[in-house]
Amino acid sequence: MKACWMNGTMVDADDAGISVYDHGLLYGDGVFEGIRFYDTVPFRLDAHLKRLQRSARALHLDLPYSLEQLAAATRQTALATQEADGYIRLVVTRGKGALGIDPRTCAASTVFILADELQVVDSQAKRDGARLIVSSLRRLSVDQLDPRIKSLNYLNQIMARLEANDAGADEAVILNSNGLVAEGTVDNLFIVTEGVLLTPPVLDGALDGITRQVVLELASSQNIPCREQSLAVYDLLNADECFLTGTGAELIPVAQLQGRSIGSGERPVYERLQTAFTQLVRLEAAA
């Protein structure tokens, strides 16, 4: 069963439906969270729900359920899949309304929670390292759409991913309007240079990722020097290591950028963090 919690009722995902007048479908008006579960336990659920709440508040979108109710529904959905590990998509749309973008015509939000599998790259890229390109598109600036809002509008990322597909790459790096690295299409980016772990700051266009924060915490606990720092393509090409992080991605090593190898192929920092991450998710699931 592909479980789906829809406005308070658990249904099979294949039987779930949403109105063609829903503004989430018509205009991308809504917010979402992607949440991994391990041993049927959603990972960092509180952090995800608080980010959902902040995104909704930024869009003046009312959550029709409390965070406690959404937490219970998320756990219920994870258990209903009958799979130990998987991925959950929690979506809140503006709801059904009249044609036209005015949100005032939408009387009530739509909420659904879908559980399934998600793989950002194939198993070979996960093992040997992903091949990246630099997208020709640019991340919208903070004064256009704050990257901390996890909205349903992913067209910018989709177009960048199309470029990666056309180039035969696994993922694309998106720059901001100043030519600085923002993130991947669905993941944050880290590099290692001379033993120091670096990642772009949120206001350079990166989503304030939950897994990104976990990796920063793990680096600190592992005594790996780390900091947020603006990065250019130059820094990526000259890095000793590079990897991607995200709820869907988890941790993915990067082998190439623009057809050029990153570092020597050795990934000691990535491997330490990957091991620590795997231990952490199992430890928290068992708690």
Angle, CA of 119, 125 and 129, to the nearest 5°: 130
Under DSSP, the state recorded for 105 is G
Residue-wise DSSP of 119-160: -SS-HHHHHH-EEEEEEEEEPPPTTTS-TT--BS--HHHHHH
Under DSSP, the state recorded for 22 is B
150 is catalytic: yes
Contact between 132 and 161 under an 8 Å Cβ cutoff? The reply is no
Which helix H or strand E contains 270, and what residues bound it? helix 268-286
Contact between 191 and 198 under an 8 Å Cβ cutoff? The reply is yes
Phi and psi dihedrals of 268, rounded to 5? -65, -40
Phi and psi dihedrals of 207, rounded to 5? -65, 145
Interaxial angle between packed helices 268-286 and 210-221, expressed in degrees from 0 to 180 and rounded to the nearest 10? 110
Q: What residues are annotated to the active site?
A: 150
